Structures are given as structure tokens and as C-alpha cells.
């Protein structure tokens, strides 16, 4: 996919997220986590991420690569959202203009955006970061970053493990191999 399309997708999804957020605003850490988990959910459900953008592992968890330039500054340049400074030191990103039409999002995507945004809506940066620190894809990339000193892309297929439900058969204890052998010796079961 061309870089321009990836950038447009990112801005479109971020705009939809901000629209779905309470007060149409989120801080940068939470916005990045919402985008990350929307991408994981669409990867799980469709086999591809919604934004088609890479994430890197930073201390606060996975973030869009070069998020300040490609996400926050770009939202501001396009007049879609701006980052404001508040008296308490927070710097939320506030939606200014909601797009009237979407090129990359369909109605199912909008439901997913709403669901994931609602999940994180009341989270502080710390809570959202701590949740993302349980992600195995981020953990691997973060460990490599700490060894090499360079931001590392999060492997989304590994990251997906955090949101995939365990199959019920995995919750059963492994049966005793001796019991299986004695059942086979006793001719219990059928030949293949």
C-alpha cells in the first residue's frame, strides 16, 4: 500500500476514534493504544490491520511509528484535531472537524472503532500503558529496543495473541499417556 494511502487511513481512523471518545478528545498515549487495539481486532477478524501502519515499542507501549509527525501534527495541519495544553499539564488531542465521509472505513469498522474506544475511554495513560505492556508483541519489541537502543516494530501477529480467546480444549488438563495406552491395549476405540 502506498504511503499516502496509509497516512490517509491513519488520519481517518484517528478521526473516527476521537469522534467516538467522550468529549471528542483523548491524550496521545490512549489514542495510540486505541489505534493499536483496533488494528489487532481487524487483523484478527479480517486478516489485515485497519490503519495499515506499523507500531513501534516505546516505554509507554506500542505507538504509531513517528506518531508525533504522522498522527498528531498531521491532524493539526489538516484542521481535524489539535493538541491543547490544560492547566493540569495534560495535553489532550481534541477533535475539531469530523469527516463527513469515509474512504477506508465501513459500518463494521465504525462499530469496532466505537467498541475499542469505549473500552479505553476512561483510561489514564498509565492504565492504558500497563494494559499494553501485557502484549507479547510489544514485550518482544521492547526487549529488543532495550538491547539495541533503536525503536523496533511490533510484530502484529505475535501481538494478536493478547486478544485471541483461548480455545476450550486448551483449558482441559493433558490426559495421562498411560491411560491412553491402556485404552489402546484394551481395544477401546476404533481403528483408523
Q: What is the pLDDT of residue 86?
A: 81
Query: Within a 13 Å sphere around the CA of 153, how many CA atoms are in the beta-carbon half?
Result: 6
Q: Give tens-digit pLDDT for 56-69.
A: 999 999 999 999 99
Domain residue ranges in the chain: 3-171
Q: Give tens-digit pLDDT for 29-44.
A: 999 999 999 999 999 9
Q: What is the pLDDT of residue 61?
A: 96
Q: What is the pLDDT of residue 168?
A: 66
Q: Give tens-digit pLDDT for 110-147.
A: 999 999 999 999 999 999 999 999 999 999 999 999 99
Q: What is the mean pLDDT of the chain?
A: 89
Closest Cα partner for 35 from 123, 137, 113? 113
Amino acid at each position: 500500500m502506498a504511503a499516502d494511502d496509509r497516512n490517509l487511513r491513519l488520519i481517518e481512523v484517528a478521526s473516527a476514534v476521537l469522534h467516538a471518545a467522550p468529549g471528542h478528545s483523548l491524550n496521545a498515549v490512549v489514542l495510540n493504544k486505541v489505534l493499536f487495539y483496533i488494528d489487532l481486532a481487524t487483523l484478527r477478524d479480517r486478516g489485515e490491520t485497519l490503519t495499515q501502519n506499523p507500531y513501534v515499542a516505546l516505554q509507554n507501549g506500542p505507538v504509531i511509528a513517528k506518531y508525533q509527525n504522522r498522527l498528531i501534527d498531521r491532524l493539526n495541519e489538516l484542521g481535524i484535531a489539535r493538541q491543547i495544553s490544560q492547566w493540569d499539564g495534560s495535553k489532550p488531542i481534541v477533535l475539531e472537524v469530523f469527516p463527513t465521509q469515509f474512504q477506508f472505513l465501513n459500518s463494521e469498522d465504525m462499530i469496532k472503532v466505537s467498541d475499542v474506544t469505549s473500552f479505553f475511554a476512561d483510561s489514564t495513560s498509565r492504565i492504558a500503558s500497563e494494559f499494553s505492556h501485557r502484549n507479547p508483541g510489544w514485550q518482544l519489541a521492547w526487549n529488543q529496543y532495550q538491547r539495541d537502543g533503536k525503536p523496533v516494530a511490533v510484530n502484529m501477529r505475535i501481538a494478536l495473541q493478547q486478544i485471541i480467546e483461548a480455545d476450550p480444549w486448551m483449558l482441559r488438563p493433558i490426559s495421562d499417556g498411560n491411560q491412553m495406552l491402556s485404552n489402546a491395549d484394551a481395544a477401546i476405540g476404533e481403528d483408523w
